[in-house]
Amino acid sequence: MLTAAGRVAIRATADGFHHPKAHRYRRGRRAWEGFWLDAFDLEQLRSELLDPLQPGGSGRYRRAVHDVATDQSLDLPYEVAPLGAVLLLDGVFLHRDELVDCWDLSVFLEVPFEVSVKRMAARDGSDPNPASPGVRRYVQAQRHYLAAGRPRTRATIVIDNNDLERPVLMP
């Protein structure tokens, strides 16, 4: 839609800004606090992607600095955004206090844990039960995010994404 409207869309994911594995798991592999506090390098997300694309920013950005699958740092070349480009960034925890001032428009996809954990299990091979100790790290961090980040109230648009084939715009 953006391209059809004559805009350049810059696609990126917060997953390109994970900390290295040793940092992500320094509080323990099951500690939800570690997922909330240590998973993402928010400083690099801001300095390498978000701040350069803000009004008055340099426009010189990188889409990623870390490959979470290989746990390798990336040294991608800088790209230069044309005037009027729009950043489309996906990821978890994007309405947290440290990032809330970055968005002109944001979307929160609301999905119950019973559904999101099953989707994660299909993608990653994890346990599909939200009460399972194997996924507690992620579920508890998300519960904390829902309370601390208040994405339902901070987002410009909230979508019930329970059914992937029939997303519903929430009032």
DSSP for 94-153 reads TTSTTTGGG-SS-EEEE--HHHHHHHHHHHH---S-TTSTTTHHHHHHHHHHHHHT-HHH
The DSSP line for 111-127 is: --HHHHHHHHHHHH---
d(CA 104, CA 112) in angstroms, rounded, equals 26
List the domain range (segments joined by +) for residue 4.
1-89
Structure-block tokens of residue 139: 């579920």
Structure-block tokens of residue 77: 């070349």
Query: Same structural domain for residues 31 and 54?
Result: yes
Domain end position, chosen among 45, 67, 89: 89
Structure-block tokens of residue 127: 């346990």
Query: Same structural domain for residues 25 and 61?
Result: yes
Query: Same structural domain for residues 83 and 103?
Result: no
* pLDDT at residue 92 in the model: 97
Q: What is the mean pLDDT of residues 118-122?
A: 96
Q: What is the mean pLDDT of residues 59-76?
A: 97
Total tally of structural domains belonging to the chain: 2
Residue located via tokens 């994970």: 18
For residue 107, report the phi and psi dihedrals to the nearest 5 degrees: -125, 135
Query: Same structural domain for residues 140 and 164?
Result: yes
* Residue range 143-159, pLDDT digits in tens: 999 999 999 999 999 99
Domain end position, chosen among 89, 119, 151: 89
Query: Same structural domain for residues 146 and 168?
Result: yes
Domain end position, chosen among 72, 89, 106: 89
Q: What angle do CA 99, 100, 104 make, to 5 degrees?
A: 110
- Indicate the pLDDT class of residue 37, thresholds 50, 70 and 90: very high
Query: Same structural domain for residues 79 and 107?
Result: no
Query: Same structural domain for residues 54 and 11?
Result: yes
Q: From 111, 115, 141, select the one nearest 128 (Cα to Cα).
A: 115
Query: Same structural domain for residues 31 and 73?
Result: yes
Query: Same structural domain for residues 99 and 84?
Result: no
Q: What is the mean pLDDT of residues 108-135?
A: 95
Query: Same structural domain for residues 115 and 131?
Result: yes
d(CA 27, CA 99) in angstroms, rounded, equals 23
